[in-house]
Structure 1
Amino acid sequence: MTLLRVENLRKSFGGVQAVQGVSFALAAGELLALIGPNGAGKSTTFNMVDGQLAPDGGRVLLDGQDITGLSPRAIWRRGVGRTFQIAQTFASFSVLQNVQLALLSHDRKAWRWWRRADAHRPQDALALLEQVGMAAQAHRPCSELAYGDVKRVELAMALAHAPRLLLMDEPTAGMAPAERLALMRLVQRLARERRMAVLFTEHSMDVVFGQADRVAVLVRGQLLAEGTPDAIRQDERVQQVYLGQGLQDFEKNSCQRPPAKGSGPKTPEMPGAPLLQMQDLDAWYGAAHILHGVSLAVGRGEVVALMGRNGAGKSTTLKSIAGLLQRRSGRMAFMGRRIDTLAPHQIARLGLGYVPEDRRIFTDLTVLENLEAGRQPPRHWPGGQPVPHWTPQRLFALFPNLGEMPNRPGGRMSGGEQQMLTVARTLMGQPCLVLLDEPSEGVAPVIVEQMARTILALKAQGMGILLSEQNLPFAQAVADRAYVLEQGRIVHEAPMAELARDVQARKQYLGV
């Protein structure tokens, strides 16, 4: 039985045709993956289906009823649930309270102010959290969670409404491979049991090809292909515009091949002390002790991967280095200067850049204005050599997608385009070392390859890079060394190639 039918949807933003005549259908109990390059129109399509945006043309039918143009609340009341590309939860509330609020809304009791909200169906809320693997963290504030765990909470909130149709925008972003597959297997099982249709976008191809019943591919707002996962995987057009050659081939062809004589930039000589050195770092979120005696170093022209399962403390480590946590202890030095007592803006002015996992661009500013907001003057290495100087023109050459939209507001960009803009804005600060939090998350496979090439280009110019990453093939393609975090402690350190070969360590620490 067809539950959702989308017919000839169209949407433009000014002169940009985001969605152009898209049509597809979805049956009860079926999982349909909507994939495509960043900026293809996936999120715009989602937003028209659930009423966040009014289409310029076409219509949306839910169980035969036309819901085009209805408000998001009216569509939600008809049984359409939603999770978002950037997870939407109440950060100051506990995990349990977030799900209880969703249950209150479902039961139409959200405005009964004379009753305590935290007394509403706590066992049902816990059961939903158990389903998504978050019951053990029920009483933690969402602000303390790793981003992948926030996505799990958001899914529990969506399931609290018992939807007939569930829209999931990049549901596994920020999760380790084993966690991604476990979550989507759960969604698949629930879809079958509840006869719930699921429409989801995803850049993780193991999830798409392993869990979807059908796959639809959008490119520049148009439907390029639709079919079974095997058919889409073999489609040469899809491989060219979206799937790319794969990181395994990229690593072999681009990273291990020695450069020809006289070609490409030469890596600068890198003697002396590390750019960044950290000793016995402890860090807290409120009363929660997250990091315990973390020590690491990053050299000039070196890429170091900080790896570990969801919630291990990777993002907390980067935030601590950038000065974004109020309570921390230990010694941190950057280019020989102590930074553990400095404010974030003082650390940034020394030449330490930070790319957050949740992007944080200025949505009302254009691409060029976002870049100008990050501009700092040229720098020099301690020996006097100039640090590579970044301009908008150089960045547009590095990120051609951004060069095609210099005057587009940040709020009208896809998640992957925003990720590229965040990296570019950080480079406008002329950094000597960059902290990258999950740089491959939420971007198309071909852009992941582009991001890998970007990191290697920065390394070749002498920049140090510390990246937090769950994507082992990506880390393997770019990193020289790896530290593995578990429960806020460094439990393993090795050259990246050695960690990639160590099957026991990968399984024990990374779940890969």
Structure 2
Amino acid sequence: MSLLEVQGLHKSFGGVQAVQGVSLRLAAGELLALIGPNGAGKSTTFNMLGGQLAPDAGRVLLGGQDITGLPPRRLARLGVGRTFQVAETFASFTVLENVQLALLAHDRATARWWRRASGHRPQDALALLAQVGMEGQAAQPCSALAYGDVKRVELALALAGNPRLLLMDEPTAGMAPAERGALMQLVQRLARTRRMGVLFTEHSMDVVFGHADRVAVLVRGQLLAEGAPQAIRHDARVQAAYLGTGLECSENESHPRLPGNGLAPETPLLTVEDLNAWHGAAHILHGVSLHVARGEVVALMGRNGAGKSTTLKAIAGLLARTQGRIGFMGQPLRGCAPHQIARLGLGYVPEERRIFTGLTVLENLETGRQPPRAWPDGTPAPRWTPERLFQLFPNLGAMPQRLSARMSGGEQQMLTVARTLMGQPLVVLLDEPSEGVAPVIVEQMAQAIRALKAQGVGILLCEQNLPFAQAVADRACVLEKGRIVHSAPMAELARDAAARAQYLGV
């Protein structure tokens, strides 16, 4: 008997058929990867299995028991664990306290008000943290962790319930390549030793083909193919529907920048000099200096937790404490409020997307609208309208009235970029645009960045995906522990295997 048996699941949202007759089997101790392009129905399927959504039709059996439509708390009691695409923890609590809270919930001891939660099974909590490689940070508040480490803590929280079935939605999102492999090797060992079935979604193909026992491919809500990883890798239907054609960038490809921005020929649009930044008492950035010219894409790279996102937030005015100099179009920015910086023409696309889920695509775009801009010499800057943005992102043009809550992760990523462009920016700070989206969507995002570059927009890009950065960037600045440790043309870094291994861990 299979541990998990999914029989003919269906789910619709209005006239949109998100999942159409999906059937799957999963054995104890097995890892099954559920992949597919954005909008294929993966998250909807996960939410039906995890109790967040009730299916319109079909059944879900766990160890032969019908669990269809049960709420998450009842599923947890029956042995179903879950991690989410966007990991969340109690940020003000320590890593250890987060796991202790999970153990309290599992032990049904949350109502014992006369006992301190911090005294509940500390050794068991530390043992769980040791399994995910986080025991050394047990006393750290979760707010101080890098996102990849938050994902590890979330895994420990799921394991606290001693699950028979573990559902993992994008388990390695936000993690460096070496960290991804280490985490999935850990999951493999846990699955084998605990006889725990693991069903996971993932857009990183190295994770899927390197660690899954079997792979199932969803396309438009239907199961397209299922089988061993190598068979799926060479399936022509999967290649066409999911993997796309791959990013292309010749080593000799030039990335011309456009002259005539109204400034002196060598004057950058954005200049950062000796930037220091803090998260609370933690000193994150140490003397970061960089610049971005018109029509130039600069990739800010580095391992997870190196300070890339902190750099963008500091430039955008989102951190309470910074030191150094930040200049935009010759005007100092440090000390300006974020809304003032945005009105000057500096756009920021956060990694977390942060769209208005209760608004339609068009309504989201309208929230970012600002008047057209001009370069200092009076020549008009690029003007972005919904119509132009729909040409840049055809996926959005096909769904202008759709609620953004009903869009896939990749579509939401496109919407976040498009909303920022409605602010008519001259420079865009772009945080991890390829993170957690399918390769086909990654290609479209690369095409959009090239189009922005051709319009003269300067882009500072935070990115861990080296092929993606190579396809769009002119230069690379590598951060390590909050310092710029390597700066070179992008093509040079792509060819330098020693530098990649030393600074990026690839």
TM-score (norm 2): 0.97
Which amino acid counterpart does residue 195 of structure 2 have in structure 1? R
Q: Which residue of 1 aligns with 2:273?
A: 279
Structure 1 residue 471: deviation in Å?
0.7
Identity percentage of aligned residues: 79
Deviation at 1:88, TM superposition (A): 2.3
Structure 1 pair 304/238, CA: closer, same or farther in 2 (3 Å)? Answer: same
Following TM superposition, by how much is the alpha carbon of 1:464 offset from its aligned partner in structure 2, in angstroms? 0.7
Residue 344 of structure 1 is matched in structure 2 by: 338
Q: CA shift at 1:269, angstroms?
A: 4.4
Equivalent position SS for 2:358 = coil
- Aligned Cα root-mean-square deviation (Å): 1.5
Partner of 2:401: 407
Kindly report which structure 2 residues correspond to 1:40-51, keeping only aligned pairs within 5 A, or say none.
Answer: 40-51=40-51
Deviation at 1:138, TM superposition (A): 2.3
Q: Is structure 2 residue 204 aligned with structure 1 residue 204? A: yes
Residue in 1 that maps onto 2:215: 215
Q: CA deviation at 1:147?
A: 2.1
**Is the contact between residue 215 and residue 227 of structure 1 (CA under 8 Å) also seen in structure 2?**
yes
Counterpart for residue 383 of structure 2: 389
- How far is 1:140 from its partner? 2.5
Aligned in 2, Cα 1:257/1:502: closer, same or farther, shift over 3 Å? closer
Give the secondary-structure state (helix, strand or coil) at the position aligned to 1:69: coil
Report if aligned partners of 1:266, 1:461 keep a CA contact under 8 Å in 2: no
User: Aligned equivalents of 1:419 and 1:211: distance in 2?
Assistant: 27
Return the letter of the residue paired with 1:183: L
Correspondence 1:308-347 to 2 at 5 A: 308-347=302-341
1:91-124 CA-to-partner distances (Å, cap 9, x unmatched) read: 2222222111111111111221221112222222
Please tell me the residue identity of whatever aligns with 2:41: G
Alignment partners' CA distance in 2, 1:134 and 1:381 = 49
8 Å contact from structure 1 (residues 332, 339) kept in 2: yes
Q: Secondary structure at the match of 2:3?
A: strand
| 1:224-267 Cα deviation digits (max 9, x unpaired) | 111111111111111112101223xx223xx85679xxxxx994
Aligned residue identity for 2:109: K
Runs of 4+ in 1 over 6 A off after TM superposition: none
Alpha-carbon distance in 2 for matches of 1:396, 1:93: 43
CA distance in 2, matches of 1:144, 1:107: 28
CA distance in 2, matches of 1:373, 1:424: 11
CA contact (8 A) 2:29 2:197 kept: yes
- Rounded to whole Å, the distance in 2 between the matches of 1:334 and 1:129 is 44
1:288-330 per-residue CA deviation (whole Å, 9 max, x = no partner) reads 1111111111111111111111111111111100100011111
Change in CA separation of 1:111 and 1:182 when aligned onto 2, cut-off 3 Å: same
2:419 maps to what in 1?
A: 425
Length-normalised TM-score, structure 1: 0.96
Q: Does 1:153 align with 2:153?
A: yes
2:45 alignment partner, SS class: helix
Q: Paired residue for 1:225?
A: 225
- Deviation track 1:161-212 (CA, whole Å, cap 9, x = no partner) reads 1111000001111111111111111101111111110000000001011111
Q: How does 1:369-380 map to 2 (within 5 A)?
A: 369-380=363-374
Rate the CA distance shift 1:266–1:330 in 2: closer, same or farther, 3 A: closer
Query: For 2:136 and 2:306, how far apart are their aligned partners in 1?
Result: 15
State whether structure 2 residue 32 is matched by structure 1 residue 32. Answer: yes
2:485 to 484, 488, 491: 491
CA distance in structure 2 between the partners assigned to 1:134 and 1:318 by the alignment: 27
Tell me which amino acid in the other structure corresponds to 2:372: P
Please give the per-residue CA displacement for 1:462-496, whole angstroms capped at 9, x wherever unaligned.
11111111111111111111111111111111111
- How far apart are the structure 2 equivalents of 1:360 and 1:339? 24
Deviation at residue 136 of structure 1 after TM alignment? 2.7
Say yes or no: does 1:482 pair with 2:480: no
Aligned runs of 1:164-175 on 2, under 5 Å?
164-175=164-175
Distance of 1:139 and 1:161 partners within structure 2: 22
Q: Which amino acid is the alignment partner of residue 240 of structure 1?
A: A
Opposite residue 332 of structure 1, the aligned amino acid is I
CA contact (8 A) 2:258 2:294 kept: no
Partners of 1:415 and 1:140 in 2: how far apart? 30
**Among candidates 432, 444, 467, match of residue 438 of structure 2:** 444
Q: Partners in 1 of 2:266 and 2:112 — Cα distance?
A: 65
1:85 touches 1:415 (CA, 8 Å); kept in 2?
Answer: no
Q: Secondary structure at the residue paired with 1:423?
A: helix
Unaligned runs of 5+ in 2: none
The whole-number CA distance in structure 1 between the counterparts of 2:214 and 2:252 is 36
Residue matched to 1:262: none
Cα shift at 1:37: 0.8
* Counterpart-to-counterpart distance in 1, 2:352 and 2:155: 18
Q: Which residue of 2 aligns with 1:70?
A: 70
Which residue in 1 is equivalent to 2:249? 251
CA contact (8 A) 1:268 1:460 kept: no
Deviations 1:22-49 (A, max 9, x none): 1111010111110011111000000001
Count how many residue pairs are aligned between Structure 1 and Structure 2.
503
Q: Distance in 2 between matches of 1:166 and 1:416?
A: 24
What is the distance in 1 between the residues matched to 2:70 and 2:422?
A: 43
